[in-house]
Structure 1
Amino acid sequence: MNPYVGHPNPLKEGQELFRKGLLSEAILALEAEVLKNPNNSEGWRLLGIAHAENDDDQQAIAAMMKAEEADPTNLEVLLALGVSHTNELEQAAALRYLYGWLHHHPKYKALTSLETPESFYHADVARLYNDAAEMSPEDADVHIVLGVLYNLSREYDRAIASFQTALKLKPHDYSLWNKLGATQANSVQSADAILAYQRALDLKPNYVRAWANMGISYANQGMYEDSIRYYVRALAMNPKADNAWQYLRISLR
């Protein structure tokens, strides 16, 4: 049962709940919106973002693909799909959407081919984004994508540098602090990752993904009691966060 079905403006309600960090409630309101207006790309996009922040990339991808169906040139959707597929280690799909972001961007589309290639190579897409960074060094989104691309190729030092450059341009972007933390964790820099995750939580206290990631970083340092507190907090906000349940079981062993 969804209490927001029949609400006069479920999109506005979902946006407000999302702003407050009430992600599970926001998801219900946004689901009511896309039931009411299935071609609303913004409704699907925000639903996808809410699922991603609630630590559910599969649901995020499903919602974002509906957003792309409604508006294939939505740059925020293409970027979010590239990030979510990277989180799922689906390189081919990630590269396709990240190339699509450049291809549809009014400032960078001249860098891409007139026709979309049948297959994408990491080195080629990374080269295009480096060209875009030279064109517009002040564009944080380009540096964010470079960080995502370097994560795909496991060049973590370069990914960290790209995210740090982006953070100089967008210091209050909580999701960007989380990306930096995740990359530092992948680079076996768990103590630094905890500082980055804390910045994300300072900016958005109900950010389920950052709570779960903080738990992982404590567990990676053998601090299992500390990790359990963070997993439990994540699960209190989203009992369906499968990753948090999985890692909690490991810490309890």
Structure 2
Amino acid sequence: MYLYPPLPPRCLELRPNNLPALMSLAVSFTNLGVGGGACDTLQCWLSHHPRYHQLLQRGGGTPRRAPPPPASLQEVLLLFQEASLMNPDSVDPDLQTGLGVLYNLSSDFQRAELAFRAALSSRPQDYLLWNRLGATLANGDRSEEAVEAYSRALELQPGFIRSRYNLGISCINLGAHREAVSNFLLALSQQRADQRCSQQQMSANIWDALRIAVTTMDRPDLSEAAEARDLDLLMGAFHLV
């Protein structure tokens, strides 16, 4: 049983066949751990795709225009695998992204990696794909390789806060706590610089991870600053001002 908002995002209300929005929504559901929502959204993506919608036909009839019924992970994965066979001489990076998401949901991280690398072969400058590859490698307990992928994402998009946070988590997993703290502080600083985001609205996840990393450094003063969310003091202590 999974729960997610019954109404689609505003962009999908205005244009239900918005393929980039559907793929982004599926990734967001995956990040939230809502596998059922991701599967339903990816099936909807197929149903609206001008090339792949035929896979959802019933009995050779016309393609369905109504949203498909809920489907299992295995059902949607089989549909995407079948769709990939329709492109024997080329790579569809969007389709490969969907496959990467589905393989992650099924904990098949090796195949998920291959799918994202296939997508990157067509879009090597796509920082979102590099971040997704990093998350896949991290999920497969390959933190060192994840660091490389996250770093590439940040080379392409230095202000991408999610990759900065993910990089910090991988640094914690590798025992590089000072580097982790630096990345978390940079992420928080970037959020504060965004006029749309007040200090009270900063991600609690980043602060929580920062506190974990700081406690390993045997610096009670920094632990107190992290508890108080004193970003300026912490930035100064790590010479990031």
TM class, shorter-length: 0.7 to 0.9
Query: Residues 15-94 of structure 1 correspond to what in structure 2 (within 5 A)?
Result: 65-94=9-38
CA contact (8 A) 1:190 1:217 kept: yes
Residue number in structure 1 paired with 2:105: 152
Residue number in structure 2 paired with 1:252: 214
Residue number in structure 1 paired with 2:144: 191
Question: CA–CA distance in 1 between the matches of 2:70 and 2:76?
Answer: 11
Residue number in structure 2 paired with 1:131: 82
What TM-score do you get using the length of structure 1 for normalisation? 0.73
Number of matched pairs: 193
From 156, 171, 176, the counterpart of 1:203? 156
Question: CA–CA distance in 1 between the matches of 2:149 and 2:43?
Answer: 28
Question: CA–CA distance in 1 between the matches of 2:161 and 2:7?
Answer: 18
Q: Which amino acid aligns with 1:110?
A: Q
Task: Please provide the CA RMSD for this pair.
Answer: 1.8
CA contact (8 A) 1:218 1:227 kept: yes
**Do structure 1's residue 121 and structure 2's residue 72 form an aligned pair?**
yes
CA deviation map 1:209-243 (0-9, x unaligned): 11111100000011111100000000101141222
Consecutive unaligned residues in structure 1, runs of 5 or more: 1-60
Consecutive unaligned residues in structure 2, runs of 5 or more: 58-63, 193-201, 216-241
Q: Which amino acid aligns with 1:86?
A: T
| Secondary structure at the counterpart of residue 180 of structure 2 | helix
Give 1 or 2 for the bigger CA radius of gyration: 2
Q: Residue 112 of structure 1: CA displacement?
A: 1.1
CA deviation map 1:189-222 (0-9, x unaligned): 0000000011101111111111111100000011
Q: Which amino acid aligns with 1:206?
A: G
Q: Which amino acid aligns with 2:132?
A: K
Question: CA–CA distance in 2 between the matches of 1:82 and 1:96?
Answer: 8
| Residue range with higher mean Cα deviation, 73-82 or 110-119 | 110-119
CA deviation map 1:140-178 (0-9, x unaligned): 111111001111111111101111111111111000000
| Secondary structure at the counterpart of residue 72 of structure 1 | coil
Q: Percent identity?
A: 38
Residue number in structure 1 paired with 2:51: 107
Question: CA–CA distance in 1 between the matches of 2:8 and 2:19?
Answer: 11
**Residue 126 and residue 242 in structure 1: after superposition, are their counterparts in 2 closer, same or farther (change >3 A)?**
same
CA contact (8 A) 2:47 2:68 kept: no
CA contact (8 A) 1:64 1:81 kept: no
Q: Which amino acid aligns with 1:134?
A: L
| Secondary structure at the counterpart of residue 177 of structure 1 | helix
Question: CA–CA distance in 1 between the matches of 2:92 and 2:68?
Answer: 25
From 213, 217, 220, the counterpart of 2:170? 217
CA contact (8 A) 2:112 2:136 kept: yes
Q: Which amino acid aligns with 1:221?
A: L
Q: Residue 63 of structure 1: CA displacement?
A: 11
**Do structure 1's residue 143 and structure 2's residue 105 form an aligned pair?**
no
CA contact (8 A) 2:133 2:146 kept: yes
CA deviation map 1:111-137 (0-9, x unaligned): 114354432111110111111111124
Pick the structure with more helix per residue.
Answer: 1
Q: Residue 98 of structure 1: CA displacement?
A: 0.6
| Secondary structure at the counterpart of residue 9 of structure 2 | helix
Q: Which has the higher contact order (CA 8 A, sep 6+)?
A: 1
